[in-house]
Amino acid sequence: MNRGKKETYSSGSALVWHFLRGSRKWFAGAILFATLVSLLDLVNPKIIGYTVDTVLGTTKTALPGFLQNFIDGLGGTAYLKANLWTVAIAVLLVALAGALCRFLFKLFNSIGAEKFVKTMRDELFEHILHLPFTWHSENHTGDIIQRCTSDVDQIKMFLSEQLTSLFRVIVLIILAMFFMFRMNVKLALASAVFIPIIVAYSYFFHSRIGKQFRIVDEKEGELSSVVQENLTGIRVVRAFGRESYEKSRFETSNDTYTNMWIRLLRLMAAFWSSSDLFSYAQILTVIAYGAYLCVNGDLTAGSYIAFITYSNMLMWPIRMLGRVISNLSRVGISVDRIMYIMNTEEEKDVPDAVEPDMDKDIVFDHVSYQYSNGTQDILNDVSFTVKKGTTVGILGGTGSGKSTLMYLLDRLYDLPEEDGKITIGGVDIRRIKREWIRKNIGMVLQEPYLFSRTLEENIRIARPTAEHQDVMRATHIAALDESIDHFNEGYDTFVGERGVTLSGGQKQRTAIAQMLIRKPEIMVFDDSLSAVDAETDAKIRAELKENVSESTVILIAHRITTLMDADLIIVMDQGRVVEEGNHEQLLAKNGIYRRIYDLQSQQSSVGEEAAA
């Protein structure tokens, strides 16, 4: 499948808008109900104010026409005064409507938020799966995971808890101010003066809190990477008796993390207590100045009550406003961190990529290569041909570039235009679809990776539709069937995380079976027989020869006996091809190959003597 790159995001908001695809209507509903909640919240103080002034008192209050008509229809204020319960019912009804809207607001908001994160996680995961191998080797797994969890949650929380509330808060502040100014301009002004002060103060504090939050996040990341490393490397920790060292490393990290949290909580405590002061000052002003105006007859008792209620109602939202503004920058960082992933280009093929016949000669033509983070050439002008249907062995010291050659063949890394080319049947692999290459080249990687599933499921990974017969055939060729017979659960044996319950040789043979089940045209064994004994090695090679003789095979090994039967043997040293030929030719050359051969046969004869 060639997904290609769909789009790049020029800004964080474009990215968030994109992720909001499936949840926009829910959030729109949430905003609508949030606005209704604010409106309804503001109605009850007005009803109470009206009751005190007009129903119980004698002050006339101007009402909207429809409401006045309704009250007149009932029998005017006289009726209300005689039946005060009607007012109580009105208050109750408004409160009920408010509760219903609040419920719907929370419901819509939560559904929207969950749908939003789901879309985000799905897309991130799929995108990450399609990112180039290079990207994966350059980025830490822990960091990628943190971006996909903490940062995603951060954005979700901001959207669901703060952004939708923001609308409610703004509507609340505007409407409350509107009512207050209509009731009494002077008192409204006295109250309004505090708003910008509290918002600014809250913004200032939350910026600092935000910075501290970021530090806490980083420390959390460090702490979890210590844990992760120790859990995956538990065998090494045990084997080298490093428990106390690792424990103190963990404790140091844990201490820092705790201290950073304490600092953060101290900041928050300071903020809440100090901003309480401002808020109470605002309410106190309203109470004192309002009382003064009341006494002077400038304000009715009902309006006074409504004013105090409104001021109380505004206390929390105003502080929240500052917090939302300062959190914007914090959430911006999370969006950027996710944008970094989403804007990395997925692996893609050239537009006219082809799917040629792969049962052809493979030619490495003056291939040079250097990893993007390295300085020295890993491969230097490497040229050789793997004729179709033959077996080519590659021998070379560690680090001589053998695996790199295979990564290039599989297009896990891309060979730059000017650094030579690799062709299959004359077609430059840069022009072949990646998926096609990987489907037709069976690669047994040097470090096999098994999933924590059953043995059979692991073998089927490359071809889930395979019959059990195929699985059995593959395990037979890979000489794994005997081991499986010894397992209590047979093919259903659970291999544990990364295959911990298997021996090194069993893991390698599982990987071989995994590849064989696809019957690819080209097979690569990257040091895949290193962990099996010489006898099993010979057995597997004999089976391969008999069962898949028509495939082209590239066999990388350190043991000469593994590759001496190959049709052609390439000897590599420090990224160059230094010798090539078949076993006899290479022996006759009296070069590196001969030296290695002599050394290895000496060792094995010593071994045999010792065993005798």
Q: Among 34, 169, 44, 182, which Cα is nearest to 103's? A: 34
**Dist. CA 112–CA 319, nearest whole Å:** 25
Minimum Å gap between C-beta 113 and Mg ion is 47
Minimum Å gap between C-beta 531 and Mg ion is 14
Which of ligand ATP, Mg ion, none sits in contact with 398, Cβ below 5 to 8 A by type?
ligand ATP
Sign of the dihedral through C-alpha 509, 511, 514, 515: negative
Minimum Å gap between C-beta 378 and Mg ion is 11
CA triplet 463, 465, 471: central angle to 5 degrees?
A: 70
State which residue, 49 or 396, has the beta carbon closest to Mg ion: 396
Closest residue to Mg ion using C-beta atoms: 403
Minimum Å gap between C-beta 408 and Mg ion is 13
State which residue, 134 or 446, has the beta carbon closest to Mg ion: 446
Strands (E), 353-469: 362-369, 379-386, 391-396, 421-424, 427-428, 441-444
Minimum Å gap between C-beta 402 and Mg ion is 5
Minimum Å gap between C-beta 446 and Mg ion is 5
Q: Calculate the CA dihedral of residues 301, 303, 308, 312 and round it to 10 degrees.
A: 150
Minimum Å gap between C-beta 453 and Mg ion is 26
CB atoms under 10 Å from CB of 208, counted, come to: 14
State which residue, 230 or 446, has the beta carbon closest to Mg ion: 446
185-192 and 301-342 helices cross at what angle (nearest 10)?
40
Which of ligand ATP, Mg ion, none sits in contact with 400, Cβ below 5 to 8 A by type?
ligand ATP
State which residue, 309 or 400, has the beta carbon closest to ligand ATP: 400
Phi and psi, residue 185, nearest 5°: -65, -45
Minimum Å gap between C-beta 272 and Mg ion is 59
Minimum Å gap between C-beta 136 and ligand ATP is 10
Which of ligand ATP, Mg ion, none sits in contact with 68, Cβ below 5 to 8 A by type?
none
State which residue, 390 or 446, has the beta carbon closest to Mg ion: 446
Distance from the Cα of residue 446 to its chain's centroid: 27
Give, in order, the Cα–Cα distances in Å from 519 to each of 335, 431, 471, 524, 564.
Answer: 44, 23, 11, 12, 24
Binding residues for Mg ion (CB under 5 A): 403, 446
Which of ligand ATP, Mg ion, none sits in contact with 168, Cβ below 5 to 8 A by type?
none
State which residue, 477 or 557, has the beta carbon closest to Mg ion: 557
State which residue, 68 or 137, has the beta carbon closest to ligand ATP: 137
Which of Mg ion, ligand ATP, none sits in contact with 373, Cβ below 5 to 8 A by type?
ligand ATP
Which of ligand ATP, Mg ion, none sits in contact with 149, Cβ below 5 to 8 A by type?
none
State which residue, 246 or 526, has the beta carbon closest to ligand ATP: 526
Q: Which amino acid is at 597?
A: Y
Query: Running DSSP on this structure, what letter comes out for residue 494?
Result: B
Binding residues for ligand ATP (CB under 6 A): 137, 371, 373-374, 378, 396, 398-404, 446, 527
Q: Are 161 and 240 in contact (CB under 8 A)?
A: no
State which residue, 79 or 384, has the beta carbon closest to ligand ATP: 384
Which of ligand ATP, Mg ion, none sits in contact with 488, Cβ below 5 to 8 A by type?
none
**Dist. CA 406–CA 526, nearest whole Å:** 8
Which of Mg ion, ligand ATP, none sits in contact with 607, Cβ below 5 to 8 A by type?
none
Instruction: Write the CB contacts of 512 (distance below 8 Å, at least 6 apart in sequence).
Output: 444, 477, 478, 480, 525, 528, 540
SS3 call for 421: strand
Which of Mg ion, ligand ATP, none sits in contact with 137, Cβ below 5 to 8 A by type?
ligand ATP
Instruction: Write the CB contacts of 415 (distance below 8 Å, at least 6 apart in sequence).
Output: 367, 369, 408, 421, 422, 430
Which of Mg ion, ligand ATP, none sits in contact with 404, Cβ below 5 to 8 A by type?
ligand ATP
What is the DSSP pairing of strand 427-428 with strand 421-424? antiparallel
**Dist. CA 520–CA 89, nearest whole Å:** 79
Minimum Å gap between C-beta 478 and ligand ATP is 20
State which residue, 290 or 393, has the beta carbon closest to Mg ion: 393
